Chain A
Amino acid sequence: MSIEWYIVLSSLLFATGAIGILLRRSPIVILLCLELMLNAGNLALVAFSRMVGNEQGQVFALVVMVVAACEVVVGMGLIVAIFRRKLPLDVDELTELRG
């Protein structure tokens, strides 16, 4: 299988995640979409790694997974905190940081 298919799939996944982030308002879904984008990146990395023929890309993908896990921890923590304070779980209403 040539490399193009992997790239196309990766791009589709990435675009799906990006569109999800732009369109949905629930923080949990936004986190899910972020994961999707990260994994689209991972897919591309692994594909390129196979193409080039060494393991650097795969190692890099592992690092991305670790980062993604951390990011989920922080993100979920934020969501729990928002929930505990009885704030709306809607990113459009959480505009405290407006300049």
Chain B
Amino acid sequence: MSASTWAWLVLLLPLLGSITVALSFRAVPARVAGAVGTASVGIAFLCAVAALLSLLGDDADSRHHASSLWTYAQAGGLEIDLGIYVDQLSVFMMLVVTGVSTLIHLYSFGYMKSDEGYHRFFSYLNFFVFSMLLLVLAGNFVLLIVGWAFVGFASYALISFWYRRTTATRAGMKAFVINVVGDIGLVLAAFLIFQQLGSFDYETVFAQAPEVFSRGEWTITAICLLLLVGAFAKSAQIPFHTWLPDAMEGPTPVSSLIHAATMVTAGVYLIARTNVLFYLAPTAADIAAFVGLATLLIAGTIAIAQTDLKRAIAYSTMSQIGYMIMGVSIGAYSAGLFHLMTHATFKALLFMTAGSIISAMANRQDIDRMSGFWKAMRFTSIMFVIGGLALAAFPLTSGFFSKDSILSFAEARGGIYTWMAIGGYVGAFLTAIYTFRLIFRVLPGRPCEEAQHLIDSGELYHGPPINPATEEEEDAEVGFPGAHHHIAEQSWPMAVAMAVLACGALFAGLIQVPGVDNVLFGFLDPAFHDSPLAEIHPSVGAEWRGLAIGAVISVLGIALAWFLWVARPELPGLFRARFRAVYLLCLNKWYFDEAIELLIVRPALALGRFANDVFERRVVDGLVSGTRDAVGGAGGLVRIVQSGFVRSYALLLIAGFAGLALYFLVVSS
């Protein structure tokens, strides 16, 4: 079978899984639904591997196939196929998405065991995987938008999964609204592309763009800026990032799959996919790179001050996606995607371990309450450390190679991009500090009450279910997290998922070691041969120099974290007191929520209130009631005639006819 046939199968399986699980929720027990959901994604992963093998069987220059099932819409010169485009990039994304999703389904199989909404969860999760695959496989901008919007909906449904939690439903709405802003950007970009090039089809658009547009022309810049609005909103880049930390209200597997490993990387995929357009719009590409740099630095500083375990990891996600956005914007396409892949493994792993710890804490997420989990949950702790090492780019882990391949490309490109590389190294330092801050505060030390309970009784601490955001108690019926969680170590699906990801986090980087092997870049690079930027390759020596710098920075950051939170734990408190303004800035997330509230939400509300009080009440209501009064007044006049006396009607009739007759007599004579 050809690669595109396999790709259609990959697309079909999660959709079937989602529908089957949703329709059978009364008929089959929860475990079966979970197994069906997991299996459908697992088989999809196998199909993706088959697609990869089929693609590798092709000639290196012809590894791209467009396939169309039928014409989706046809009207006046516009023809949209229900078509997919299979090339190295989409096969790569397909593998990452289905691979990580399979493991996270497996983890959810154990993690959501006590939740009443088990079927619903798996149905949503499968639907998400389908949408994400549609996004990465789409062969034209219209299908891309469809997948883009589906993914936004799936994210909304899963953030608000515990729908009785007000904070969760609010977070879902926030995510949805911000994502819709991004959708608008994407739709407008697609409109401009169609207006200028007369097609939505990737192949046509990318082939014609260099002929129609000159480099730096304002139209193509506008298109790319609009694409960036979509990419930033989906990938939680400044200033569209505020939804991502709030999205942590969803169940932990959701944070792991959607809000760390796959969905938030859609923006990276979009920029890599439209690299031809971004090459033609250098201004837009530079803006994207700067926003990525700003995001990775700002999110890094915020993550250091957060005390909510999942939110801190969410900020690190933002920061890592900042690297990817920066990478694909400056031309390091393969490197950005490499980081996307390694990040998917270690960040999914980190969220899984966080979920395991949060279960043990009876749903509390505050790291101030956590300590001593090294003694209580050895397996989870080891996994946490592995994920943390990869995130902190510790030498020879996967994050080490992928992060530095972006930064050494930036350095090789020279000019302002050298400064970006330096900014990236500063960000890497921050990453090492905040990652190991979490580890040093949660794992060592005297076990906290919950951890001690786990050591003593071998069972998880079951406190009253509370909302971690508000500390309010909630009843554990449907629409809330289940009352009983399971110990990750003792639930084999969770343990297997974590162990596989840990292997990925440790060793995935070895497929692309500068000067040693070139598996990933050798495969991906031909997909970007249209962009001259892909010709830039840092020398092996420069790459190893970058790796050495990265290693030193990572170790220094970890050492500093150890010094601050283990050796001299009183120091952070002193810092907080001494540099109160800086601390408050980081703790309050640089006041982005407040700024958006002040600059956008309040004016919008004020405008709405003005529209309601003045425009609606005075103008619209005035027009309506004016019309009503006019009609009513005219009706009143007519009513006088309608007396109900038949004889008066007869008189009017006869008088009228007589009048007419007289008139004609007079006229004719």
Q: A residues bordering B, Cβ < 8 Å? A: 18, 21-22, 25, 30, 91-92, 94-99
Contacts and interface: CB of A to CB of B under 8 A. Distances in A.
B contact face: mostly helix, strand, loop, or mixed: helix
B664 interface: no
Nearest to A18: B654
A92 B650 contact: no
B632 to A, nearest CB: 13
Contact of B643 (A22, A25, A30, A98): A98
A94 to B, nearest CB: 7
Contact of B651 (A22, A95, A96): A22
B646 A22 contact: no
Contact of A97 (B642, B647, B651): B642
Contacts of B641: 99
Given A18-B654, A21-B650, A22-B650, A92 B645 contact: yes
A92 B647 CA distance: 8
B639 interface: yes
Nearest to B642: A99
Contacts of A30: 646
B639 A22 contact: no
Contacts of B639: 99
A96 B645 CA distance: 9
A contact face: mostly helix, strand, loop, or mixed: loop
A21 B642 contact: no
Contact of B644 (A18, A21, A25, A98): A98
Contacts of A95: 643-645
Contacts of A99: 638-639, 641-644
A98 B642 contact: yes
Interface in B617-639: 638-639
A99 B640 CA distance: 7
B647 A25 contact: yes
Contacts of A96: 644
Contacts of A22: 647, 650-651, 654
- List the 5 closest pairs (A to B, CB-CB), nearest first: A99-B642, A95-B644, A98-B644, A99-B639, A91-B646
Interface in B642-665: 642-647, 650-651, 654
Contacts of A18: 650, 654
Contacts of B646: 30, 91-92, 94
A96 B643 CA distance: 9
Nearest to A30: B646
Given A22-B647, A95-B643, 16 more contacts: A18-B650, A21-B647, A22-B650, A25-B647, A30-B646, A91-B645, A91-B647, A92-B645, A92-B647, A94-B644, A95-B644, A96-B644, A97-B642, A98-B642, A99-B642, A99-B643
A44 to B, nearest CB: 13
A94 B649 CA distance: 13
Interface in B364-423: none
A94 B646 CA distance: 8
21 contacts: A21-B647, A21-B650, A22-B647, A22-B650, A22-B654, A25-B647, A30-B646, A91-B646, A92-B645, A92-B647, A94-B644, A94-B646, A95-B643, A95-B644, A95-B645, A96-B644, A98-B644, A99-B638, A99-B641, A99-B642, A99-B643
Interface string B210-252: 0000000000000000000000000000000000000000000
A73 B381 CA distance: 99
Nearest to B638: A99
Contacts of B651: 22
A16 to B, nearest CB: 13
A79 to B, nearest CB: 13
A97 B648 CA distance: 13
Contacts of B645: 91-92, 95
B644 A97 contact: yes
